[in-house]
């Protein structure tokens, strides 16, 4: 059996509500719903049961202290000069980078190839396609977006289920700060 997995941080309800309030103004954007709002630490992809078990065990050995995060501004990822997704940015955070590196090391230690992309902490707000309206007015309106801080005292191993209306993210295991 295979599982589509990733590790992420789930913002608290107040932060998610603040993000949801911003999600308007781009025609035909596929806005994320409350259940989809997260900060990805490491996308794993499709793995078989034994690898999923190994990853879960390796992640359980990761130690970190609670730390704060803040939302700061917004931006987009693009392909061939067209925005493909809109995101809320995360203020630079050394503890976040350290946690992400530990998760990355756990993944590569289990035999996954290293992540090829540079870690860019963000929370995806919308996915865009060729029928989506212009993103610039939205990006201008949320340039000063500021939410938080919030305390990060855990991260989650998620299973992703693909659906027509967008992925469903199911928490599988939660890893707490300082837990043994």
The catalytic residue positions are 38, 122
Alpha carbon distance 89, 96 (integer Å):
13
**Chain position carrying tokens 């259940």:** 35
β partners of residue 45:
5
**Chain position carrying tokens 């990355």:** 104
Closest CA relative to residue 98, chosen from 117, 119, 82: 119
Are the C-beta atoms of 64 and 95 separated by less than 8 Å? yes
Residue 8's φ and ψ, nearest 5 degrees, are: -155, 170
Are the C-beta atoms of 56 and 173 separated by less than 8 Å? yes
């Amino acid at each position: 059996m295979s599982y589509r997995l990733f590790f992420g941080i789930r913002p608290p309800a107040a932060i998610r509500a603040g993000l949801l309030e911003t999600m308007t103004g781009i025609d035909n954007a596929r806005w994320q719903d409350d259940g989809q709002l997260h900060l990805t630490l490491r996308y794993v992809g499709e793995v078989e049961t034994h690898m999923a078990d190994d990853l879960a065990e390796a992640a359980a050995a990761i130690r970190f202290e609670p730390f704060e995060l803040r939302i700061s501004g917004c931006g987009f990822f693009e392909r061939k000069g067209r925005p493909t997704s809109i995101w809320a940015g995360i203020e630079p955070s050394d503890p976040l980078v350290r946690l992400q590196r530990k998760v990355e090391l756990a993944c590569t230690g289990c035999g996954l190839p290293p992540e090829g992309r540079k870690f860019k902490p963000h929370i995806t707000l919308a996915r865009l396609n060729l029928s989506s309206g212009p993103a610039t007015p939205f990006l201008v309106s949320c340039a000063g977006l500021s939410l938080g801080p919030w305390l990060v005292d855990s991260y989650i191993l998620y299973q992703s289920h693909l659906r027509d209306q967008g992925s469903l993210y199911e928490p599988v295991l939660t890893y707490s700060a300082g837990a043994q």
